[in-house]
Amino acid sequence: MALLTVETGSPTLRMTTSISIISPVDSGNTTGGTLYLLHGAGDNASTWYRLTTIEQYANKCGCTVIMPQVGRSYYTDMEYGLDYFHYVTQELPELCGRMMRLDDDPQKTYVAGLSMGGYGALKCALTYPERYSKVVSLSGVTDIQKRLKDPQMSSDMAREMAGTFGKRLQVKPDQDLYALAAKLVDDKRKLPSILTCCGSEDPFVEMNREFASHMQASPYTFQYVETPGTHEWRFFEEHLKTAFDFLYN
């Protein structure tokens, strides 16, 4: 396996940004397709390969793992900021596909993330289901409206969220996972297979249970896994195995 860090100018972001890539090019097994792996708020791509065994799973499955940097943007074209959703779903795949000569077969293209990145991963797959066959959310924000209306949110966090979602913290239909999921069904488009995992002591567990209940009553192929744990790397590491079992079995 090879771990690459690419520093590149982004026309979408109008600045230099970093992309971390785990590549199986020297392992002899390159049959596992591509996994876009999204970080959480307060993290960057390096936390995935510093704090988990993601490289070992990538090696076993022969997949290329693409890990972009998006700050605390919630993978959103921000109201008062940069167009990170466009970057992750448009510019990033085109650049990495050309640079790494990736197989663009959607049946072998996946997206996953944790916390804020879990929301981002679900948003990517529910917006562009023709690009990703499977999606995984670990301890993800599955109800962004509930997150924005959290009465425990600090004033600093509320100000930050206003920069992303607007001063009124109003969620648009293309930012709401429930609305996106329903629209795919109504439009009779291809539906991605979905796995969500959450710890029973995680602050996001209730929204994950509600999302799972809603999706399991829908036409989606949907799995929900809840085990003891909270919002921490021990849980994320444990459920990397759950994620790769789902993606590659």
Q: Is 32 helix (H, G, I), strand (E, B) or coil?
A: coil
Q: How far is CA 32 from the centre of its chain?
A: 18
Per residue in 142-157, pLDDT (tens digit) is: 999 999 999 888 999 9
Whether the CB-CB separation of 55 and 27 falls below 8 Å is answered with no
Q: Does position 27 have pLDDT exceeding 70, yes or no?
A: no
Instruction: State the pLDDT at residue 24.
Output: 87
Please report, for the chain, the start and end positions of each structural domain, with discontinuous segments joined by +: 2-248
| DSSP code per residue over 51-71 | HS-HHHHHHHHT-EEEEE--T
Q: What percent of the chain has pLDDT over 70?
A: 99
Instruction: State the pLDDT at residue 63.
Output: 95
Global pTM reads 0.96
* 2-248 CATH fold: Rossmann fold (3.40.50)
- The model's confidence at residue 28, banded by pLDDT at 50, 70 and 90, is low
H or E element in which residue 16 lies: strand 15-23
Q: For residues 165 and 176, give the distance between their C-alpha atoms in angstroms, rounded to a whole number.
A: 12
Question: Token digits for 128?
Answer: 């562009």
**DSSP designation for 31:** -
Q: Does position 25 have pLDDT exceeding 80, yes or no?
A: no
Instruction: State the pLDDT at residue 103.
Output: 85
Whether the CB-CB separation of 182 and 219 falls below 8 Å is answered with no
Instruction: State the pLDDT at residue 134.
Output: 98
Per residue in 183-230, pLDDT (tens digit) is: 999 999 999 999 999 999 999 999 999 999 999 999 999 999 999 999
Average pLDDT (1-11) is 95
Instruction: State the pLDDT at residue 98.
Output: 94
Q: Is 96 helix (H, G, I), strand (E, B) or coil?
A: helix
Phi, psi (rounded to 5 degrees) for 176: -100, 120
Candidate from 32-36, 65-69, 103-107 with smallest mean pLDDT: 103-107
Instruction: State the pLDDT at residue 180.
Output: 98
Average pLDDT (91-112) is 94
